[in-house]
Structure 1
């Protein structure tokens, strides 16, 4: 757990940087989405399950906001098959056990048609048996470690071959040969780093060190001492949540700012940059499948809509856009299937034509994962990311890395 002063500071930053739904403006042309468990007779219920408290709130509150914005827009445009959406919002509290409990409540007691949410792989893996048992469908919006394939989860976040490995390809091209891996101690960082190690060593390069801290941990003195001794060329950072605040502050205090020792992060986006303070990560790198700085009419429309609802200073991130896309993809799949049944919706989702989105045209592959473009960005003084590199084409998802998990494939009947 974080110490009291860190938590107080983080809460203050979040209150400044993020306007929560309860105090948001209602957009013109539609009613705010309902958040009670009772849907009207002509409506349909969905679950929205994110961490609204705890160490992951720094990242997940705004994903919830984006999902709610999509629901509100859809309701204002007439709903789904003529039905208004009622969102049942729950707090996963940054605790996998709570996520499992709330997933059970949503699917069994509230009888929602589908659920949007989750961030950490620990939370997703805790929810997975619930969705498989109850034959419901979770739309998961965050990059993850792969090595999983379920008919009851739509994985719109990046697989490793769409985020971590493109970051390594970029680093190779830049001449980096000596890497240090730092992560939170749970399944995503450990598995992502296993995959990275296989590729780093396969290229004849060196892993100078590998260190983990508990999720929410704030003491990086030992880790930083090992980094200093190892003298890496680049740090791959798979820390999540507010541990990043402590890590970057303590690295700066040790004289290892991102301009002196490059850091490539996989879970820091625009929202985290604002909450942490842009100066703290200025010059560092991030790998995602979306940055707010992407230039397209669809992205400009989304950013404007989000700012109109949550404030002119609000920023948007990759997981937020994926959460927003997930709601629209569910709507399109329901309408293609002509039914709210989760199995029929899943089958329709992977058969959809590309969906216009802030990411660009988005399409789910038969393995329930999204085909998407990879980007490398560098943090600027305002906490935005200048895009330095773009993959040559959208990258098909590979749930199982062939070096780390040879012979494993994903086939969903």
Structure 2
């Protein structure tokens, strides 16, 4: 049966259910350029407004996987597991988690992305390390997994190319927020990646893409459903993102903090979430190990060194440092009640740690250091935040973003748990 873009658009516009053949055709035709950008824009908006059920979303994901090649990991000698975070502020968890899980006996093929807007990107952070490179061929990915047990790199061009094209379109047409399209975008890359199991860190709060827990749960359930339907051992943890993770936000500063964690130190919230995700990954992979003990021993740092060196990085080279600093002090004495993640993320972005467009460069030394976190007592005039920039002209806009970020109270504050909820079998 022949299909047309107009028929597919009308079906979804009118609240109908797309058939499997319709989905297969429209994704393939769009990837090949047969369906025009404006037609796919209309369909994406119809999907945003009308939604897709679990079967439609699963078929959409499969069609995007089929638009390219998949990464064959059959020859890897260890069980394979991956983790995906929906993004946040100060979220350097991948940097510590990947070598930790590899040290525990699981191979971790981590295909990561770059930051956009107020959320940071793992590849940008790792590129703070002199010599480290993100672009690897499929053969190199397999070699690095054998050498170091872990690899963090950019997705190859031939993995789910439909997603790359559709994501760029959604970003400029106001359709990013569609849960089915978010879920299929994430999972198409993860299915194509070829790992046997997957753990999802779905964040909610002011600094997350999903600000409300109900929407985050909806996304987590969709992601787990797609993964399970595609033969992946999949689970999700809902985690809070109203306060920055750890005490550093940026690129080089987050690498430095992750190294502290790998050496058995580092902020308690980063350590706790790293261990929680590691336990989940190891359980999904069927490996019995104690990640807390391994992390405390410092052995995961040795794996980190092998992993970074295998991709050309110099682990002994100094990390970039910003040329200028500006300190934000506590306006009064009391307990720090709020440190808004979104505001801190925007400030770091304006200081040069992030980018407004994908093609923009980042300044690896820029960022924000958090000298106090919610729940801690502070004294008036005490340093709360340290802004890092290469150009002092960037400070005023960053300070504007932070104008309502901090609240000091005379009431004790209870911090949110690091994991709010688990979703999965």
Max radius of gyration: which structure? Answer: 2
TM-score, length of structure 1 as denominator length = 0.29
